[in-house]
Structure 1
Amino acid sequence: MADVGDQYPSSDSPTTPFRKVVLPAEETVRIPRPSPQRPYLPPPPPPKRGPLSRVGDIPIKVVYLLAAIVATVVAVLLIFVIFSGDVPKQPPQPKVVPVTPALSATPTPKATTGAIVLPATPAKQALPRLPGKASATIGTITDRTTGIRYPRLGKPWKARSYPPFSVAQRVGKVAVPHTVIASAMLPGDEPLAKPKKVADYREIAVRGVRWTLLTQYPKGATLAWTGSRNLPLGKGWTLGYKVTYPVGSGRRTSQALLSVIEVGKTKPAMLLASIPESGKAHWRDLNTIAKAVRPL
């Protein structure tokens, strides 16, 4: 009978030598040695592009649009060049000479060519109290162009354009003779000697009255003096007069006054007030104006 120990499989003894394992030859890996680090240099900037180099960037629609505009302009210029000879030449225009308007609104009577002979002027005569009802005074007209002031009258008087007068108040329609109260510098280009005394302004006022007969009334008008006095305020003179003028086969009258006022300029200022017979209900307004006209 076999021994109990023989029933187990045999195994190597701990003293059995290990099997030699032969590894393949070691492989040598060569790693390249890094070269010395160079300094970083930025890439060079792109070359500058000229205007011509950018033409290719323009959209094709824009190119077509510009070409159409240029073609249109060229066509218009060609039309003008081709047909310019067909336009008739305008005849030379006569030279226009500016004319200074007279101190009145249209219609204006023509001035007479001959000298107007006036009656002798009274040295001093009180202005008469004229008939009619005085209009209400609603303020003061300050004419800074001439340098004077005088009453502003209420209805029916209205301040209206009346060139070349600086300021004007009128009643009714524009007709000759006018119903007007207006201020301006004394008309005329002749030089004036500075008055040495107040009475010398009387002759200057006569000059203004003569001008009114030439410009503000129909041809053939005559006058009679109704008053002659110095200004109540400031230096100057006021002349009152009644004008008789032809209308058709008859004659009509107007009441008027003219004041010249010293305002420190080369010529005095002038205030004219004239109301025809058709407006005699307002004749008393002439007294209102004569009392209050004065320099600024």
Structure 2
Amino acid sequence: MADVGDQIPSSDSPTTPFRKIVLPTDETVTVPRPPDPLAPLPPLPPPPPPLKGGLLARIGDVPIKVVYLIGAIIVTVLAVMLVFVIFSGDVPKDAQRTPRQVAPISPAPGASGSPKPSATAVPAVPKNLAYPQQAGTATVTIGTISDLATGISYPRLGLPWTAKSFAPFAIAQRVGKVAVPHTVIASAMLPGATPKTKPAKTADYRDLAVRAVNWSLRTQYPAGATLAWTGSQKVPVGKGWMLGYKVTYTVSGKQKTSQAIVSIHEVAKTKPAMLFASIPQSGKSHYRDLNTIVQGVRTL
């Protein structure tokens, strides 16, 4: 009978070496070696060779529209320069010595700044002088012109008077062609700067009427015009002053005259309203219409 110890199954001792396992050849795994950080970088590829012909070789890459646009700009600049070169000296010698004579343009009555004094000082205005009855037959009155821009109204006359737009006035009635001096009845605000305060005295309105007369001599008649007073009186209604005057001037070497009036009226503004009328001697058959205007002007 065997010993008990001989009954224990046999086993490998810890010191028994491991069995060697050999993988098949096709199952071998290769692990790449990590790059060496100190190794030099590979050289950069060489730059492409320059195009033959330099800048001209690149023109073919520009869109055709851009080429046309640049060409058009160059042609335009050259054309403008050529015009200046050709015509820069084409100025008549007479024009360089003598300024061109042009018809004067009447400044707008509302323009800023005080009116400049007339070339010829007007005579002292009478404190009171009744406006006379003019000769001739009055034109039929067909209505009323209400000038909302100035705040006054006055009679509207029938034919041959017609109401038209006529700068620098707000509204104007005229007869005949446009010529200096005009045949006109028109309204506007007082020319020049607005007074700092609204006039309070009758004498203030008389002074403003003289200012308007000076404006008319400077802008509505030939240079060198003079006057003689024909009337100086209060307006028929409200505050204001009316001046009548006969204007004398020279046209083409001949002395001529006009009958005129200026009527200044207090309105709901600091600057007063102005009614101006002038009829040259060629239209003396309409002189009586000045009486119609003087008596019929009102504030709105």
TM over 0.5: yes
Aligned to 2:233: 229
- What CA distance in whole angstroms lies between the structure 2 residues aligned with 1:76 and 1:261? 69
Instruction: Render the CA deviation track for 1:54-102: whole Å, top value 9, x for unaligned.
Output: xxxxxxxxxxxxxxxxxxxx765552244322222758xxxxxxxx952
Instruction: Report matched runs for 1:86-235 at 5 Å.
Output: 86-88=75-77, 102-103=107-108, 115-189=119-193, 191-235=195-239
SS at match of 1:150: strand
The structure 2 residue matched to 1:238, chosen from 218, 236, 242, is: 242
- What CA distance in whole angstroms lies between the structure 2 residues aligned with 1:182 and 1:249? 29
Q: TM-score, normalised by structure 1?
A: 0.65
Question: Does structure 2 retain, via aligned residues, the 8 Å contact 1:239–1:259?
Answer: yes
Q: Between 171-180 and 248-257, report the one with greater CA deviation.
A: 248-257
Question: Does structure 2 retain, via aligned residues, the 8 Å contact 1:166–1:183?
Answer: yes
Question: Where does structure 2 lack aligned partners over 5 or more consecutive residues?
Answer: 1-62, 82-104, 110-114
Question: Does structure 2 retain, via aligned residues, the 8 Å contact 1:103–1:215?
Answer: no
RMSD between aligned alpha carbons?
2.3
Q: TM-score, normalised by structure 2?
A: 0.65
Aligned to 1:262: 266
- Choose 1 or 2 for highest CA Rg: 1
- What CA distance in whole angstroms lies between the structure 2 residues aligned with 1:114 and 1:259? 19
User: What is the deviation of 1:289?
Assistant: 0.3
Instruction: Render the CA deviation track for 1:202-243: whole Å, top value 9, x for unaligned.
Output: 010000001111011111111010011111111111000001
SS at match of 2:77: coil
Aligned to 2:285: 281
Question: Does structure 1 retain, via aligned residues, the 8 Å contact 2:175–2:184?
Answer: yes
Question: Does structure 1 retain, via aligned residues, the 8 Å contact 2:106–2:219?
Answer: no
1:114–1:267 distance in 2 versus 1, CA, 3 Å:
closer
Percent identity, aligned pairs only, is 57
1:114–1:207 distance in 2 versus 1, CA, 3 Å:
closer
1:103–1:253 distance in 2 versus 1, CA, 3 Å:
farther
User: Which amino acid is 2:107 matched to?
Assistant: A
Instruction: Report matched runs for 1:41-80 at 5 Å.
Output: 76=65, 78-80=67-69
Aligned to 1:64: none
1:83–1:270 distance in 2 versus 1, CA, 3 Å:
same
User: Which amino acid is 1:181 matched to?
Assistant: I
Question: Does structure 1 retain, via aligned residues, the 8 Å contact 2:245–2:260?
Answer: yes
Aligned to 1:84: 73
Instruction: Render the CA deviation track for 1:15-67: whole Å, top value 9, x for unaligned.
Output: xxxxxxxxxxxxxxxxxxxxxxxxxxxxxxxxxxxxxxxxxxxxxxxxxxxxx
Question: Does structure 2 retain, via aligned residues, the 8 Å contact 1:131–1:283?
Answer: yes
SS at match of 1:87: helix
1:212–1:150 distance in 2 versus 1, CA, 3 Å:
same
Question: Where does structure 1 lack aligned partners over 5 or more consecutive residues?
Answer: 1-73, 92-99, 105-110
Q: Which runs of 4+ in 1 moved over 4 A?
A: 74-78, 111-115
